[in-house]
Chain A
Amino acid sequence: MRTYIEHMAKQTLDQKLAILSDAAKYDASCASSGSTKRDSRDGKGLGSNTGSGICHAYAPDGRCISLLKILMTNFCIYDCSYCINRVSSNVARARFSVDEVVKLTIEFYRRNYIEGLFLSSGVIRSPDATMSDMVQIARKLRHEENFRGYIHLKTIPDAAPELIAEAGLLADRLSINVELPTDDAVRQYAPEKKPDQIRKAMADVRLRKDAGKDRSFTGKRPPRFAPAGQSTQMIIGADGSNDATVLGQSTRLYSSYKLKRVYYSAFSPIPDSSSKLPLIRPPLQREHRLYQADWLLRFYDFQLDEITSVTQDGNLDLEVDPKLAWALVHRAVFPLDVNRASREMLLRVPGFGVKTVERILATRRHRSLRYEDLLRMGALMKKAQPFIEAGGWSPGNLTDSANLRARFAPPPVQLDLF
């Protein structure tokens, strides 16, 4: 019988790439935005960063492909039930060398396939040994290849602080996954992971990032630490947490560690899955609603309890979006006159985005707004109609009509028996 090592040596780069990109697809993040602006106009390096991300392709799952998202290896000594790479799984295993990852990144980048690298890894030998190899890849890209594109490193929980310190100076973004919405769920499904240590590592990244902003007394700025910030991911639907718990956890993470993003990943069946977890269709609609609620919390001045108190069980309404759900139970404040209402109230109108509201405010300084004006400003009037008044438009009884919800909710479907 061949040993694992012999087997590994026979794998081609193409085979390894197949295994290690398949293993990486459960990480939702693919953002490449928000970092420092830089370019290679000087001809001495490769790559640029414009500050906003670019999606170079889309897979048929609708997800953007912006970065080369791979695992350094999918060998892992942890046994997290939800993970395809857990030690107890029988998936095919592979491991990239440092140079292979560097070469793939550079060659893909030169052909304009990607914005950069998102490197994650299973834990081999020890957390420190794994993280040290990942840092070496980033170091080679930056210092030997003069790569100025985007690098996102998924830090290994438990890796030594000095490795995180170096990772933050090389990478644009660092992330550590909290994995599940509650500590109890983590203990149950990822027994080797320690939620309190994950939090401490996130706190450490925030402190280092804050320290990177202070000028010294000579006015010098230290090198920027993870300029695109840190992010995390939570798996939705693997444990029994409701949406109020999930969003409560996100609010806490945003406020405590100044995260750029919390990613929600609907638990998806994996090949060779553990018997501990439900084999269900991934709750994609729930994931979508969570992102919408997350947006309302961050950019629309909604408070957590306003969003989650709309339903009885603390879960978001799957049929209508969370802003519409809020508006439907708070009809007393509507209809709003778009020519008078305040910014914060306009932000509460279903169908009005932040940009639309800014346009309304800018234009109504010069003249009063009519219904057609709103259409041209990009408002979704089908949604907004019952909740606003404008020149030439009044919703009349529509706002309080009993069947208002039915206008928006999808029509009832007969139960699918098979």
Chain B
Amino acid sequence: MQRATIPAIGAAKAWRAAARGFLAANIAPEDILWGDHSAAPDLFATEAPPSARGAVTVPRSFLALAESVAWHSDPQRFARLYAFLWRVKDAPHLMSDRADPDLARLRQMEKGVRRCQHKMTAFVRFREIGAPDAPRRSFAAWFEPTHHTVEPTADFFVRRFGDMDWRILTPDVSAIFENGALSFHEGHAKPDLPDDAGEQLWITYFRNIFNPARLMVRAMQSEMPKKYWKNMPEAAAIPDLIAQAPARARAMAAAAPTLPPARMAQVQAQLAGCQSAWNGPTEALPAAIAACTRCPLHRNATQAVPGEGPRDAALMIVGEQPGDMEDLGGRPFIGPAGQMFDTIAARAGLQREAAYLTNAVKHFKFAPRGKQRLHQRPNGSEIEHCRWWLDAEIAQVKPKLVVAMGATAAQSLTGNGAAILSRRGQIEESRSGVPVLITLHPSYLLRLTDAAAQERAKAQFQADLAQAVAITASGSTASSGGANIAAPPS
């Protein structure tokens, strides 16, 4: 019979060293007596496990498990770990069998330790033991953990309270952090810590953050079990808060509404004078567009996106509708399709700043999918409702030529949204008599996955924009069908 005694401080490491030795020496679990510092020595066992020879490989996930379970309060923890290790060394897949009874038991213990560690990070309460104005302040806490969690949890406090000295005293193991150095010591009797100036404020906070109209005592106790209460200063207020809650809630309901205080009018006058950067546009047409509720699309969008550009631009470019980015930013053509437009427009010699850019529909239509918004095409009725605004923009800007990008724009301007691919490059007439050059929508270019087809479409789009530039520069609007000239041979 072999015997291994694991010390209270450094238990995880000591268990690992001992287990490695036993495993290398091929000693079965039933031939080992595991004990911790509290166990009585066994008369018939031999001390000192064999030292490790050769490498022993076990799944990494087992080591992580053992690292936690070693701190459990169960006296059998070391034996259970070794017994499972004995099985897992020949069958590493056991680690992923969550329903294996031995593993399930160890996982449960691991969970218990983790929970105890978590509660320790939450419920330790420090009191100041040094002078509040000392260059390095000094605090102490008394805590009673369920498992042996001081050592594995101390690092949390080191990382959190790096600029002060602190000590956590427990009946099990105590941790002391002084001038940046952490040390562990034997357990401690409950010390008499001095009164703390912050504690009264904390109790005040605890009493007042509680809403008596929502009393849920069970929910509180499942997360903050009573065993922790005795070392938490705020817990003393709990019985009182619970007892008064129903009466306080009734009093709120019974109280008659009061008259507003006299200063109300004066205070509200202040508000009227405040200007906000988020106030919408003030110019008549953009302001009217921003306030539009003609169709249901306004309900889901962030904002209406009005057109942008010189009010006397010779060229007006009309797209379909704002996309995700345009909806957030409030400006047209700033998303991926807008960037595509910018790139090709620059190649075609079209100056974005000189043209008036707008959309046939002013609100973004989408379907929510998790954290994404899927673009949806506006329907005929939505296009028709929004035509009011597009017509108003055309009437205000009076462009020489309007470029309709894509079917929605063509539909809105000419009343016909069909067969864009065969109509592109040609000039049609809008319902109000303005010449309209039909072309592709830049998002169509983005959707093409075939590189050659995309290049061809880009060239067509560029030729159409170049044609628009030429027309607005010369003043002629005669259709030349010239777009096809620029198309590369396919």
Contact = CB atoms under 8 A, between A and B. Distances in A.
Interface of A: 13-14, 17-19, 21-22, 24-26, 39-48, 50, 54-65, 68-70, 77-79, 87-90, 104, 107-108, 110-113, 123, 125-128, 146, 157-161, 183, 192, 194, 196-197, 199-204, 206-207, 251-252, 254-258, 266, 268-275, 279, 281-282, 284, 298, 304, 359, 362-363, 365-367, 369-370, 372-374, 376-377
Contacts of A54: 118, 121-122
Contact of B219 (A62, A158, A363): A62
Given A87-B264, A255-B371, A111 B139 contact: yes
A40 B213 contact: no
B159 A48 contact: yes
Contacts of A252: 300, 368
Nearest to A111: B126
A90 B99 contact: no
B280 interface: yes
Contact of A111 (B99, B202, B242, B325): B202
A56 B122 contact: yes
A274 to B, nearest CB: 6
B96 A363 contact: yes
B398 interface: no
B186 interface: no
Given A110-B161, A197-B278, A58 B213 contact: no
Contacts of A108: 198, 201-202, 205
Contacts of B217: 60, 62
15 contacts: A48-B160, A60-B238, A61-B211, A65-B209, A108-B202, A110-B161, A112-B125, A125-B270, A146-B163, A158-B278, A183-B299, A202-B302, A255-B373, A362-B98, A372-B99
Interface in B423-477: none
Contacts of A113: 125, 198, 202, 205
Interface stretch (B254-262, B337-345, B389-397, B399-407): B254-262
Given A79-B268, A206-B328, A18 B160 contact: no
Contact of B98 (A13, A48, A160, A377): A377
B139 A110 contact: yes
Given A62-B216, A87-B267, 4 more contacts: A24-B209, A57-B224, A90-B260, A107-B201
A338 B330 CA distance: 49
B160 to A, nearest CB: 4
Interface in B234-291: 234, 238, 241-242, 245, 249, 252-253, 255, 257-258, 260-261, 264, 267-268, 270-271, 273-274, 276-280, 290
B287 to A, nearest CB: 12
B280 A196 contact: yes
B370 A254 contact: yes
B162 A39 contact: yes
Nearest to B168: A112
B101 A376 contact: yes
A159 B276 CA distance: 7
B189 to A, nearest CB: 22
A199 B303 CA distance: 8
Contacts of B325: 207
Contacts of B219: 58, 62
B180 interface: yes
A69 B210 CA distance: 11
B114 to A, nearest CB: 11
A79 B269 CA distance: 12
B208 A21 contact: yes
Given A60-B245, A367-B97, A284 B260 contact: no
